[in-house]
Structure 1
Amino acid sequence: MFRFAKVPTYLLISALLSSSFTVSANNSNSLPEIGTTAAATLTIEKGQEYGDAYMRMLRASQPVISDPLLSEYVQDLGNRLVANADSVRTPFNFFMIQNREINAFAFFGGYVAIHSGLFLYAQSESELASVIAHEIAHVTQRHLARSMEDQAKKSPMTMAALVGSLMLAIAAPEAGIAAIHATTAASMQGQINYTRSNEKEADRIGIATLAKSGFEVQAMPRFFGRLADQYRYASKPPAMLLTHPLPEARVSDTRSRANQYPNVRLPLSEPYQLTRARIVARYAGIESEAALDWFNRKMKKASPKMKPALNYGKALVYMDSGKYQQAHALLDPLIAAEPNNRFYIDSATDLDLFQKRYDSAINRLEKALRQNPNNSVLRLNLAHALQESGLNASSISILTRYTYDNPNDSNGWSLLAQAYAAAGKRDGELASRAELMALRGQWDRAINNYIQASQIADVNSLDQARYDARIDQLRLSRERFANLQ
């Protein structure tokens, strides 16, 4: 588990969204004019450039969770909400950060980050969805851009300093944060008022999105109320309460708004419970015995529909501890009951590979892919199984197509680099690792890797031409990245 001595960069982003701009507001219920607002300061296209830069920065500095199953879950959940949101003008990308703090945040370009700790606190999928819907509203209503627009009207010089500080954070997060605080320290009250109006608007629009998406709207006031009650007198509240304050008026307002919608009660969400179990088993930062204790305590009062997810979590703990027999005892009945469940397929594949049952793993995955040929989880699992069995050429074939379809997925590039290395193709390995570096904004290292790959490749070959073309693309990307600072 990563540890950071420096101030995490994502706190800068959250601060920018909720507490960094000097703004005045005469009435916390009045909303800035929407429409062309913020277009002059930060266009949607420019916001996407900033978002891409921040995402690369986060990959380089934070423990972004690259687990394909968890990525699929949060992206599917987010897409369901976005499909029912209004004023969507940018693609959305949802991802997870391994952090036990209860928090989520949105930033430029439609990126929404979810802390793994949020899953440990949210008691249902609707509660989790209520937080994500709130963050989606921050993006669709362009709260950061509107803050920048408002500040630009009042003090162009301060605005220039803010933008400079913002971009400084790309290269030096601590320096960027210090510059922002120095720039905006003069008028905290106006900033707080504007933040409250943003939060109120995000709550209002988030509840509407929640309702249209078929979730329980009461989940938002229930989650917010429980969070506010638990940490009301805490000396160190969670990050979410620092960036998203929860005064009683706000909790009451969300409850009042939720009461305007029909009270829907949904059955237990199996994907949510399985995701939660996987996080407890692998991403909660606790020892295996503590994780097993958590599952066993939950099992004592669990409903029959909850128990499969808890057994799944226990199976993961046993498997990761090398106790394959205990893992089989729990997992085999689960996959027998739901042979198409990707959570179970993934874990059964891992168990097979740990025990060198390569044919069993490959056959299961190929069967699953015939039913769902484009699924990322299954494609990556098959590529990995083929590698483990020594069939690197077949793995390379799958991963070459996968990375073309999913160029921003580090899993594909990492597996492809391993497959090329095992196959003794050094230029392919260097190129694949270069793409991993580019995803982290490490442009010079990525370009150097491609230069080496080009030197190794056969002269005038298709591979050499491809590497040289990619070098030119990366140099342009490096220049665009530098121009944002």
Structure 2
Amino acid sequence: MNNRESLYIYYTVFRRRLFYPLISVLVALSICLSSALPSQAFDWVPLIFQGVQALQLSNMSDRQEVEIGKQINQQLLDSDVRLYRDANINRYVQQIGQRLVANSDRPNLPFTFQVVDDDKINAFATLGGFVYLNTGLIETAENEAELASVIAHEIGHIGGRHLVKQMRQKALDAGLLTAAGLDRNRAIQIGYQLARNLPGSRNHEFDADKRGLRTLTRSGYNQTAMVSFMQKLVKKGSVPTFLSTHPATGDRINIIKKAINTQPSNGNDGLDNSTYKTNIQALLRS
């Protein structure tokens, strides 16, 4: 018997020894899944798959988040979100935003700040560092620190990956998660719907306030601007969408005040009202 024949016989025997135990395991597994309690076996499998996919969403890379954010942004711009094109206003908002990003929880994320041509007092954020500020909100703020407080809050949502978590929960609720993963187009559509509907979450809003206040403080802005802006809007009697979700705005104000008292800061930037009006002069003229 030559070496080639010996190797062939060895391989055949080895394959058979491996094959039969494998078949036994598969048969035993099929019997377990199909016997006695078939309903329980059927219910556990999708739950396991959903748990795996939920973990994948929660561990989405920065690159994936930015790419999906870009596509959500394009859907928003293709729908009813119209950008305000004045270069000076956009440059000013970008400067404030990037100053805050440098002191945020995700300073390496490529944030994009966009001004929306809308008189409503509103702001929101999507995946991958995309932040939107209505012209109505910019006009309502009395100084740069107040505007910065809103931007810092939206950055806080991105820092906490709140929209990613909401997407995961919505996909689970709708039964869209499979072992193969959440379809990319569906993920984009869910993100778009969440951005437009601005659903509230008590824990997420508190967390964005906490993160936003920390970012505002690190950036040297006056801490009380976050409180003064919220109070101003409450006194108007018409709380904007981004503040109207639970928890109640009054509760948020009280918690922010306590946080300021426990972590005082000497930062006093952004309180010059006249300088702010000069910086947004193009918007006030339009």
TM norm. shorter chain > 0.5 = yes
Match of 1:119 in 2: 138
Distance 1:41 1:118 in 2: 33
Following TM superposition, the consecutive aligned residue runs of length 4 or more in structure 1 with deviations greater than 4 angstroms are 36-41, 158-166
- What residue number does 1:348 align with? none
Q: For residues 167 and 56 of structure 2, what CA distance do their matches in structure 1 show?
A: 7
CA contact (8 A) 1:38 1:145 kept: no
Q: What residue number does 1:71 align with?
A: 90
2:206 maps to 1:206: no
Tell me the CA shift for residue 47 of structure 1. 1.6
Q: Tell me which of 252, 255, 258 is aligned to 2:257.
A: 255
> Aligned residue pairs: how many?
225
CA contact (8 A) 1:93 1:112 kept: yes
1:224 aligns with 2:230: yes
- Percent sequence identity over aligned pairs: 31
Partner of 2:156: 137
- Check 1:150–1:77 CA distance in 2 against 1; reply closer, same or farther (3 A cut): same
**Is structure 2 residue 175 aligned with structure 1 residue 157?**
yes
SS in 2 for 1:138: helix
Partner of 2:281: 277
Deviations 1:438-481 (A, max 9, x none): xxxxxxxxxxxxxxxxxxxxxxxxxxxxxxxxxxxxxxxxxxxx
Q: Please, which of 74, 77, 99 is the counterpart of residue 59 of structure 1? A: 77
Work out the CA distance in 1 between the residues paired with 2:244 and 2:186: 21
- Aligned match of 1:390: none
Deviations along 1:324-353, whole A, 9 cap, x unmatched?
Answer: xxxxxxxxxxxxxxxxxxxxxxxxxxxxxx
Unaligned runs of 5+ in 2: 1-53
Aligned residue type for 1:251: I
Q: CA deviation at 1:164?
A: 5.9
Compute the RMSD of aligned alpha carbons. 3.2
The alpha-carbon deviation at position 246 of structure 1 amounts to: 3.7
Query: Is the Cα contact below 8 Å between 1:51 and 1:107 reproduced in 2?
Result: yes
Q: Are positions 1:86 and 2:105 aligned together?
A: yes
Which structure would you say has the larger Rg? Answer: 2
Tell me how far 1:38 sits from its aligned partner: 6.2
Q: Deviations over 1:358-400 (max 9, x none)?
A: xxxxxxxxxxxxxxxxxxxxxxxxxxxxxxxxxxxxxxxxxxx
- TM-score, normalised via structure 2 length: 0.68
Amino acid at match of 2:264: Y
Q: Which residue of 1 aligns with 2:4?
A: none
Letter in 1 for 2:216: L
Amino acid at match of 2:230: F
State the 1:159 CA deviation. 4.6
Query: Residue 164 and residue 54 in structure 1: after superposition, are their counterparts in 2 closer, same or farther (change >3 A)?
Result: closer
Unaligned stretches of 5+ residues in structure 1 = 1-35, 182-190, 283-485
1:47 corresponding residue in structure 2: 65
Instruction: Say yes or no: does 1:103 pair with 2:122.
Output: yes
Q: Which has the higher contact order (CA 8 A, sep 6+)?
A: 2
Partner amino acid, structure 2, of 1:213: S
Distance in 2 between the 1:244 and 1:65 partners?
29
Q: Deviations over 1:31-51 (max 9, x none)?
A: xxxxx9765564322221121
Secondary structure at the counterpart of residue 64 of structure 1 = coil
**Quick one: distance in 2 between partners of 1:37 and 1:138?**
19
Q: Against the structure 1 CA distance between its residues 241 and 156, is the aligned structure 2 distance closer, same or farther, given a 3 Å change threshold?
A: closer
Note the alpha carbon deviations across 1:304-339, whole angstroms, 9 max, x for none. Answer: xxxxxxxxxxxxxxxxxxxxxxxxxxxxxxxxxxxx
Specify whether residues 209 and 168 from structure 1 end up closer, same or farther in structure 2 by C-alpha distance, changes over 3 A only: closer
Secondary structure of the residue aligned to 2:284 is helix
Q: Give, in angstroms, the shift of residue 71 of structure 1.
A: 1.3
- AA paired with 1:254? I
Question: Conserved in 2, the CA contact under 8 Å of 1:103 and 1:240?
Answer: yes
Structure 2 vs 1, CA of residues 159 and 251 (structure 1 numbering), >3 Å: closer, same or farther? farther
Deviates more, 1:269-278 or 1:197-206: 269-278
1:351-362 aligned at under 5 Å gives the runs none
Q: TM-score, normalised by structure 1?
A: 0.42
